[in-house]
Structures are given as C-alpha cells and as structure tokens.
Amino acid sequence: MNHDDLNHWSKRAADWITDYHATLRDRPVRAQVSPGDLLARLPATAPDMAEPPEDIFADFEALIPGALTHWQHPRFFAYFPANAAPASMLAEQLMSGIGAQAMLWQTSPAATELEQGMIRWLIRALDMPEDWTGTIHDSATTATLSAVLTMRERALGFAGLTEGLSDQPRLRIYASAQTHSSVDKAVRLAGIGQDNLVKVPVRDDLSMDPDALTRAIGADVAAGLMPAGIVFCAGGTAVGAFDEITACLPVARAHDLMTHVDAAWAGSAMICPEFRTLLEGAEDCDSLVFNPHKWMGAQFDCAVQLIRDPVDQIRTLGLRPDYLQTLEGDEVTNFNEWTVPLGRRMRALKLWFVLRAHGLDGIRVRIRNHVAWTRELCEVLRGEPGLEITSEPRLSLFSFALTGGCAATEALLTRINADGRIYLTQTTHAGRFVIRFTCGTWDCTRDDVMAVWEVIRDLR
C-alpha cells in the first residue's frame, strides 16, 4: 500500500464511517459474540506475501464491526460514555496521517504549545485558578498514578527515587471507598501497597467523612506512619459520589498532604456553572484529573491533569539522559517529564477541533440535556411497580433494581444486554446488585434515553 492507495482507501474509509454512524441504531449496542469467535477466524500466522487493500478492507467489513461493542451508539448507557464528536474524529484522522511522536518540545513544537493552549482553555472553562497548568495523559489511571508517585516522593523528600522504598517510613494515602480502582492500582504500582491505602468511611451522602479522615490521619501519625496524600472522589464510578473537598482540606493542610481530585467522568460537566459547585474546593487542591474522552467529545484517549505547580511532578517523573538533551534547555516544556511514558501522542489537536467546532456552549447544551433526560428517565422508572431507584441521579448517573431481589435484577440485566437495543452495566451498591444507567454519547437523544423504559417494560 502506497500513498496513492492511502488516498483512495481513506476516502473509502470516510464513506464507511459516515454509513456506520448513520446506521448505528440498527446494530445491537453490545457485541453479540462469544469469546474466541474472532480469534478462530484469523489465520495463525502473518502473511509472507503482501495482500491487496481490497482483501484487507473486505475482511475488516466482514469480521470486525459485528464483533464490536459500539461505544458511539446513541443507546450505549453502560460504564461511562467515551464520547467522540465528529470534529474529534477529523483531528485524529489528521494526526494519524502525520504520525508524530511528541515527547519533547523539539520533536513537535506544535504539539507542546497546542497542549499548553488547550490546558489554559480548560483551566478557564472549569473555573480553576489562572496560575494552574497541566498536561494530557492517555488515561485517568496514568494521571492518578503520576499524582500518587508525586505524593510519595514529596513525602519522602525525593529519596525514594534513588534509594528505593525499603528503608523509608511506611507511607499512607487516603481515599473513600467510592473512589475508582485506579487509585488502588496507583498505590500498588507506586510501591506504597494496597494496605496503606486507607479507605476512609463515607457519610450518608457517600462523601468522605472529614472527621473520620482526621481521626485516621491522627492515628497513623501516632503510630509512626507517614501520611502522604489524599485522593478525592468527584463523581464516583459506581453511583456518582462526590466528596466535600472543602471540609477535608483543613486536615490536609495541617499535615502538609498533597491532594489530588479524581473527576475523570464528572469533570467535563464542570464547564456548566450550575454543576461546578459539586467541585468546590478543587481549586485549593494540588492536582485534578478529568477525561474529555468521557463527556467532552474528544475521543479516547484524552485525560487532562490540571496541576497547581508542576515542579514536584517533574522532579518525580522527569529524566534527562544525554540523548534527550536539547539546546532549548529550560526555555521550553518537554511534556514527557510530566508523564509516565516517554512517547506521547498529540492529543491536543482533537480538543482544539472540538472546542472550536461546538464552542463551550455547544458542549454545555449536550451535558445539560444528558442530565435532564437522566432525571426524566429516573422519574418514569420510579413509577414502575416492582422497580426501585437505588441511588438518585448525580449528573447523568443513577441506579435501580427490581424489588424482587438481586437474582431477578441480574436476570433482567442479562436479558437487556442479550436483546441488544440498549446496553447497561451493573455495580454493587449498599451490598446489592444494582443496574447503573448513565448517558452521554455524542448523538444521544431524549428518545434514545426513553427507550430504556420501553425495553425494560418489554423484558420484565
């Protein structure tokens, strides 16, 4: 395949994509295949001889779409959305044609400076302090890992980087049980250890109990352990819990703890002033992650970490071996020093395209619609006999269950996903198996949301 073929087949691909999006509602949302189906249809070895593009494209059409779960399907209500605006797809198409690797300023100045520009736009859009900065990671998991590594080194006076952890005091990180498992993963990978992630009890509204936090930190200090940081939950994955950050900050300050906010999903909604109150206090923390690839139309992957002062994180993650030295020195930002991997994609382009193609207002309208339709659906389901709302809507997320018990609820979910018209997933809430509803795909309409009611009625 040469560049002329690329031109020809890109146009074919563009047509295919248009058709794909136009017919998504006709496809089952979740792949209706069994494990191993696709693998069994692939040859066991790579071809020795070149194959024509026609054959490759034909096999793509024959094998792949039927084995996909369609994340951009307007009736995808599972997990959290990973929504993608057409403007974002266009930007990614351009980037894939350029094939840049943006590890240093020098290796693509446009990548670094567009990233800085987009971070500035997002700081203002989220009403965060003007003197903050930030970077773009692949995922919230990596952003939180970067923050936890920084917590570790800040607490150890940066000794862990060289000496390792075996002779260091035992570090402690605090988070509520509503936080995402990426926090557990971060403390494991950072060598802090799962046992040193203190799951602080929550209050009735599922927010971290500030008194319990204060007691936990006090007990750890008394026992000779070393508190290092707190990860706040701003929009939990199970049922959308929010910590009351302002109530927890005094104890963080008293012990000089670094604070990081996980707003991976809910962060995008903070461009709406009426929702921004849920994030109150984040501006007094040290770091925050949110995923424009969830709810802001910039397709996966795009996780933005906003940072009060990057010095500690750069000291933790940055390395400058000889082969990465550049003449610009400290005049420029080399973003690989802010993140775990050395190589980086140019992720700012899709943000630039989306934010301009829709404006913040265009994105706000979508988010507000998603929230309003979620509440509407919740009220309708509340009226259904034998069905119970198990957690109230938080932004575009609520959960429900059948009053008949966990087994009945689980069986209903299995029927729903085998049916294919909509896609929902489960969580455990207050010890019960519950079904989560969340919406947020780019082309989702009110009718799509209300289809959930129809499907549930059909399948009960």
Binding site for ligand PLP (CB under 6 A): 80, 139-141, 180, 182, 235, 237, 262, 264-265, 291, 303
Q: Nearer Cβ to ligand PLP, position 28 or 292? A: 292
As to burial, measured by CB atoms within 10 angstroms (0-12 exposed, 13-18 middle, 19+ buried), residue 199 is middle
Q: Nearer Cβ to ligand PLP, position 139 or 427? A: 139
Least Cβ distance, residue 451 to ligand PLP (angstroms): 24
Least Cβ distance, residue 176 to ligand PLP (angstroms): 12
Contacts of 388 (CB under 8 A, 6+ apart): 400, 401, 402, 403
Least Cβ distance, residue 436 to ligand PLP (angstroms): 12
Contacts of 353 (CB under 8 A, 6+ apart): 87, 88, 90, 91
Total residues belonging to the chain: 460
CB atoms within 10 A of CB 55: 10
What's the rounded Cα separation, in Å, for the pair 273 and 449? Answer: 24
Least Cβ distance, residue 76 to ligand PLP (angstroms): 14
What's the rounded Cα separation, in Å, for the pair 171 and 160? Answer: 11
Q: Nearer Cβ to ligand PLP, position 192 or 412? A: 192
Q: Nearer Cβ to ligand PLP, position 237 or 374? A: 237
Least Cβ distance, residue 45 to ligand PLP (angstroms): 33
The CA radius of gyration of the chain, in Å to the nearest whole number, is 23
CB atoms within 10 A of CB 20: 15
Q: Nearer Cβ to ligand PLP, position 303 or 416? A: 303
Least Cβ distance, residue 165 to ligand PLP (angstroms): 24
Least Cβ distance, residue 427 to ligand PLP (angstroms): 12
What's the rounded Cα separation, in Å, for the pair 102 and 291? Answer: 20
What's the rounded Cα separation, in Å, for the pair 311 and 288? Answer: 15
* Secondary structure (3-state) at 234: strand
CB atoms within 10 A of CB 344: 24
Least Cβ distance, residue 264 to ligand PLP (angstroms): 3
134 pairs with which residues across the strands?
306
Eight-state DSSP code of residue 126: T
Q: Nearer Cβ to ligand PLP, position 166 or 181? A: 181
Contacts of 80 (CB under 8 A, 6+ apart): 237, 264, 265, 294, 295, 397, 438, 440
Q: Nearer Cβ to ligand PLP, position 190 or 456? A: 190
Nearest Cα residue to 132 out of 6, 273, 310, 272: 310
What's the rounded Cα separation, in Å, for the pair 340 and 144? Answer: 11
Q: Nearer Cβ to ligand PLP, position 255 or 350? A: 350
Q: Nearer Cβ to ligand PLP, position 176 or 334? A: 176
Residue pair 228/152 in contact (Cβ under 8 Å)? The answer is: yes
Least Cβ distance, residue 371 to ligand PLP (angstroms): 16
